[in-house]
Amino acid sequence: MTASLVPSGDEVMLRDSARAFLAEASPVSALRANRDAGRPYDPGLWSEMVKMGWAGVLVPEEAGGADMGHRAAGILAEEMGEVLAASPFLSSAVIAATALRAAGSARLAEIAGGATYALALDETSKFAPERSGLQATRAGNGYRLTGRKCFVADGGSADRLLVLARTAGAPGEPQGLTLFDLDASRAGISRSPRATVDSRDHANIDLDGVEATGEDVLGEADNAMAVLAPALRAGQAGLSAELLGLTSGAFGMTAAYLRERRQFGRTIGSFQALQHRAAHLWCEIEVTASAVANAGRVLDETPEEADLAVSVAKARATQTAKLAVSEGVQMHGGIGMTDEFDMGFYMKRARVGAEWLGDYGYHAARVAAARGF
Amino acid sequence: MLQHSDDPDTFRANISSWIEAHCAPELRAIPRTDQQICWGGKRFEFSSAAQKAWMQAAAETGLSAPRWPIEYGGAGLSRQQEKVYREELARLNAPTPLESFGLWMLGPALLEFGTHEQKLHYLPQITRGEIRWCQGYSEPGAGSDLASVQTRAEDRGDHWVVNGSKIWTSYADQADWIFALVRTDREAPKHRGISFMLIDMTAEGVSTKPIRLISGASPFCETFFDNVVVPKEDPAGLSRIVGELNRGWDVAKHLLTHEREMIGGGAQGLLGTRSLGAFLQDLDDQVLADPVLRTRAMELEVDSLATAMTLDRYKDMAKQGGVGHASAMLKYAGTELNKRRYELLMSVTGSDGLDWDGAHGALPSEWLRTKANSIEGGTSEVMLDILSKRVLDLPSQ
């Protein structure tokens, strides 16, 4: 039995304080400034988030974290999405923190302290962890990693990398994969930043005979999924929340514009053709909000059963964000197409979020599998 | 006798053994058809002795209206307990012991707007399945624009005289009483001259005529009132008006919210308690090998699950202070989803699903019936209007 999807008093307070902080510290104009300066995120903003305990939202208290759970992490991600705040939050505080926690790693405290991580997983243009083929071959007492990872979120700037590599078996098999926790500056690692449409940090990472030891293995060798699967669920739920926030931000701008823009001598929001589209979009957002809240709740209560809830959330959040930004541009008319106006930033981030950690098809197929077809 | 334990596990165990003790195995077979729904009322013919016994057992325990107060014939369960009860019914494949517009609509209206005496009189008749109610809202000239109802009740001192006609009155031909919106003040603005009136269907001058639908069924009727005399007070001194005179629109709006949530919740029909996945697995393998059908099924499943979560979330919100006009979202999303579900079921069953009564039961009737979901209780377009104006605050000029 899942707790109510209606937010608790504490959750409302968390949301309000996050919203107030971000409105001041990271309005959408901050993303624009980052982009214009060629800076993927603002380290100053991240330090503020660390000070507020956001980096340790999923880190146990004994490791210096706040241990507030996935629903709380989702609320923070949602608020960041609302204003498109760029930060290593999902990669470090959500994905890496969950992986390190599942593995019982001593480095968890570093995450609470603001150390940044990136998950190096994809090798092709579509998310498919078990198809990973990057080789980690046995060499003496350790391993030697060679191969290329692509579309590594926060990979250009992260202090450390979680690299998924194959130590046994063949691509396509979930067994035989090992997750390595490596310093990003280790010899043999080279990072190529990519200029992705959302102006955030994404990189391709080449590993050329990178040496690793058993100490670098997170969890057990050949059994990465034991620590990776919970981390992916957490990341997918967090990203769904970010997409929901983004959706709500784009919709808020659109609804406000419908109330003020005048054409043909009347407010365009008085046209039923636009009213019904706006109302339909609002309904879609409400349904997606339930799925996102539910994913956080299930992760907090019965994480091992969360696959279905997480995939419903990611699938819904992806589609709803796409609808919200498309309608956002269309209803704004010409100004929606200009760089000067913010809607484009929402559209671009929605597209990147749609691909990261599994697209609609990936998650819809997981829902179908969980539901018996 | 059922023990109302506070401990959830004990409650679940109690309710489960109570269901097994009173709901005969023959009632717990699937698939179940519409004909097996127990509606109650004076004209109702039970499909079996077991059905009657099940309804009566529920009535005695108050479980035909789980959440209504015990003094009005309900079981006084908490929301959580009701949920457990419904879960156990589903798990044991037990039908709901009694369904009726009295339980879904008039009861909630009386609980909100009725006097204590009205509640004491009318509610137990509903929970015991003695009186079957129907709803007289729409008229030929008042569909989406419901507040322009013209059926009028003229004040003749100690009684009203009602004239006019209603349409889309569900099961009016089988109902004992009707709760109707009637105009009691023709001078007032249209929302301010309507009263919510209780009328005996056996009164002189009331007649009904079933309307045959595209689904082949006739769940709806036209209902005519020709100089029908409605006493202002029963012999027991009970008013036949619920809420204040001329303020029936308030009651109607409240009820429409209930109705919308109910329709939005969506009957499962053919699927019963089976998941879509289980249904699909029973079909020819070729069906899901079609990538287009498979994609549609996946999309539907994603949206169904998220919509079910939304229903739960809104129920909790309602409990904590109400959802207001946002309930129009549940009605809109739920009914559009149900239509999609049946379009998919028709597609995946192929030619096997085309018989009125065939390999998939009465699937075509159910499919056609869903087309009314987004019309009855306020069309999808009316729901979008409500949301635009009342929730999104979009301007009218």
In a domain, B125, yes or no: no
B259 annotated active-site: yes
Give the domain-ending residue among B219, B247, B275: B247
- A137 and A167 part of one domain: yes
Give the domain-ending residue among A181, A204, A223: A223
Residues A112-129 have a mean pLDDT of 97
Identify which of B218, B118, B217 has the alpha carbon closest to the alpha carbon of residue B177.
B118
In a domain, A30, yes or no: yes
Residues A76-95 have a mean pLDDT of 98
Q: Is the pLDDT of residue B259 over 90?
A: no
Q: Considering only CB atoms, which residues of chain A are within 8 Å of chain B?
A: 4-6, 255, 258-259, 266-267, 269-270, 272, 274-276, 278-280, 282-283, 286-291, 293-294, 308, 312-313, 315-316, 363-365, 367-368, 371-373
- B239 and B281 part of one domain: no
In this complex, the residue of A279, A312, A315 whose CB is nearest that of residue B384 is: A279
Q: Is the pLDDT of residue B271 over 70?
A: no
- A243 and A352 part of one domain: yes
Q: Chain A closest CA to B314's CA: distance in Å?
A: 8
Supply the DSSP symbol for B37: -
In a domain, B259, yes or no: no
In a domain, B117, yes or no: no
For residue range B208-218, list pLDDT tens digits in order: 999 999 988 88
- A269 and A316 part of one domain: yes
- B233 and B297 part of one domain: no
In a domain, A3, yes or no: no
- A85 and A209 part of one domain: no
In a domain, A95, yes or no: yes
- A236 and A365 part of one domain: yes
Q: Which chain B positions have a beta carbon within 8 Å of A272's beta carbon?
A: 385, 388
Active-site hit among B222, B259, B261, B366: B259
Residues B92-111 have a mean pLDDT of 92
Q: Is the pLDDT of residue A265 over 70?
A: yes
Q: Locate the chain A residue with the closest alpha carbon to B382.
A: A276
Distance CA B123, CA B115 (A): 11
Supply the DSSP symbol for A87: -
In a domain, A1, yes or no: no
Q: Residue A338: is it exposed, middle or buried by C-beta count within 10 angstroms (0-12/13-18/19+)?
A: exposed
Ramachandran area for residue B205 (φ above 0: left; ψ -120 to 50: alpha; else beta): left
Among B20-34, B158-172, B252-266, the least confident range: B252-266
Query: E-strand spans in chain A?
Result: 117-120, 135-139, 142-153, 160-166, 177-183, 189-195, 201-212, 217-218, 262-263, 266-267
Distance CA B195, CA B245 (A): 6
Q: Chain A closest CA to B295's CA: distance in Å?
A: 8
- A102 and A137 part of one domain: no
User: What domain range is A210 assigned to?
Assistant: 119-223
- B141 and B215 part of one domain: yes
Report the pLDDT value the prediction gives residue B261, as an integer from 0 to 100: 63
Distance CA B320, CA B65 (A): 21
- A312 and A204 part of one domain: no
* Total number of domains in chain B: 3
Supply the DSSP symbol for A302: -
Q: Chain B closest CA to A364's CA: distance in Å?
A: 6
Cβ–Cβ gap B394/A269 under 8 Å: yes
Among A230-239, A252-261, B4-13, B207-216, the least confident range: B4-13
Identify which of A353, A370, A1 has the alpha carbon closest to the alpha carbon of residue A151.
A353
Task: Count how many Cα atoms sit within 13 Å of the Cα of residue A203 in the half-sphere of its side chain.
Answer: 21
Check: CB of residue A287 under 8 Å from CB of residue A316: yes
- B277 and B380 part of one domain: yes
In a domain, B47, yes or no: yes
Task: Using a pLDDT cut of 90, give the percent of chain A over it.
Answer: 98
- A197 and A63 part of one domain: no
Give the domain-ending residue among A203, A223, A243: A223
Report the pLDDT value the prediction gives residue B263, as an integer from 0 to 100: 60
Q: DSSP string spanning A11-26?
A: HHHHHHHHHHHHHHH-
In a domain, A243, yes or no: yes
Residues B1-29 have a mean pLDDT of 84
Among A80-84, A260-264, B36-40, B306-310, the least confident range: B36-40
Report the pLDDT value the prediction gives residue B80, as an integer from 0 to 100: 84
User: What domain range is B65 assigned to?
Assistant: 8-99
- B18 and B71 part of one domain: yes
Q: Which chain A positions have a beta carbon within 8 Å of B397's beta carbon?
A: 266-267, 270
- Give the CATH number for residue B298: 1.20.140.10
Q: Residue A159: is it exposed, middle or buried by C-beta count within 10 angstroms (0-12/13-18/19+)?
A: middle
pTM of the predicted model as reported, rounded to 2 decimal places: 0.89
Report the pLDDT value the prediction gives residue B281, as an integer from 0 to 100: 82
Report the pLDDT value the prediction gives residue B270, as an integer from 0 to 100: 61
* Total number of domains in chain A: 3
* Contacting residues for B21 by C-beta, under 8 A, at least 6 apart: none
- Which element (helix H / strand E) includes A50? helix A43-51
* Contacting residues for B177 by C-beta, under 8 A, at least 6 apart: B131, B132, B133, B134, B198, B199, B200, B201
Distance CA B149, CA A297 (A): 46
Q: DSSP string spanning B277-297?
A: HHHHHTS-HHHHHSHHHHHHH
Residues B145-174 have a mean pLDDT of 95
- B71 and B140 part of one domain: no
Interface test with B, best of A247, A290, A362 (most B CBs within 10 A): A290
Q: Is the pLDDT of residue B148 over 80?
A: yes
For residue range A9-28, list pLDDT tens digits in order: 999 999 999 999 999 999 99
- B158 and B55 part of one domain: no
Residue type at B154?
E
Q: Compute φ and ψ for B46, nearest 5 degrees.
A: -65, 140
Name the band, by pLDDT with cuts 50, 70 and 90, for residue A207: very high
In a domain, B215, yes or no: yes
Task: Using a pLDDT cut of 70, give the percent of chain A over it.
Answer: 99
Distance CA A55, CA A66 (A): 9
The listed range with the strongest mean pLDDT (B32-36, B196-200, B290-294) is B196-200
Distance CA B26, CA B149 (A): 45
In a domain, B110, yes or no: no
Report the pLDDT value the prediction gives residue B29, as an integer from 0 to 100: 78
Distance CA A156, CA A170 (A): 29
Name the band, by pLDDT with cuts 50, 70 and 90, for residue B5: low
Check: CB of residue A222 under 8 Å from CB of residue A176: yes
- A93 and A65 part of one domain: yes
Q: Is the pLDDT of residue B268 over 60?
A: no
In a domain, A2, yes or no: no
Neighbours of A273 (CB within 10 A): 8
- B351 and B384 part of one domain: yes
- B89 and B158 part of one domain: no
Give the domain-ending residue among A72, A95, A115: A115
Q: DSSP string spanning B98-118?
A: ---HIIIIIHHHHHHHS-HHH
In this complex, the residue of A275, A367, A372 whose CB is nearest that of residue B384 is: A275
* Distance set, CA A137 to CA A145, A169, A226 (Å): 7, 12, 21
Cβ–Cβ gap B302/A315 under 8 Å: yes
For residue range A138-148, list pLDDT tens digits in order: 999 999 999 99
Residue type at A250?
A
Q: Which chain A positions have a beta carbon within 8 Å of B388's beta carbon?
A: 269, 272, 275-276, 278-279
Report the pLDDT value the prediction gives residue B267, as an integer from 0 to 100: 47
- Give the CATH number for residue B78: 1.10.540.10
Report the pLDDT value the prediction gives residue A1, as an integer from 0 to 100: 44
Check: CB of residue B377 under 8 Å from CB of residue B256: yes
Check: CB of residue B167 under 8 Å from CB of residue B36: no
Among A268-282, A285-299, B1-15, B77-91, the least confident range: B1-15
In a domain, A66, yes or no: yes
- B218 and B282 part of one domain: no
Q: Is the pLDDT of residue A372 over 90?
A: no
Tokens of A46: 């991240």
Report the pLDDT value the prediction gives residue A138, as an integer from 0 to 100: 94
The residues pairing with B196 across neighbouring beta strands, listed in sequence order, are: B181, B242
- A248 and A307 part of one domain: yes
Report the pLDDT value the prediction gives residue B397, as an integer from 0 to 100: 79
- A241 and A286 part of one domain: yes
Report the pLDDT value the prediction gives residue A310, as an integer from 0 to 100: 98
Identify which of B299, B197, B215, B296 has the alpha carbon closest to the alpha carbon of residue B251.
B197
Residues B116-132 have a mean pLDDT of 96
Q: Which chain A positions have a beta carbon within 8 Å of B378's beta carbon?
A: none
- A127 and A219 part of one domain: yes
Report the pLDDT value the prediction gives residue B3, as an integer from 0 to 100: 57
Residues A291-316 have a mean pLDDT of 97
In a domain, A205, yes or no: yes
Distance CA B84, CA B73 (A): 20
Q: Is the pLDDT of residue B31 over 90?
A: no
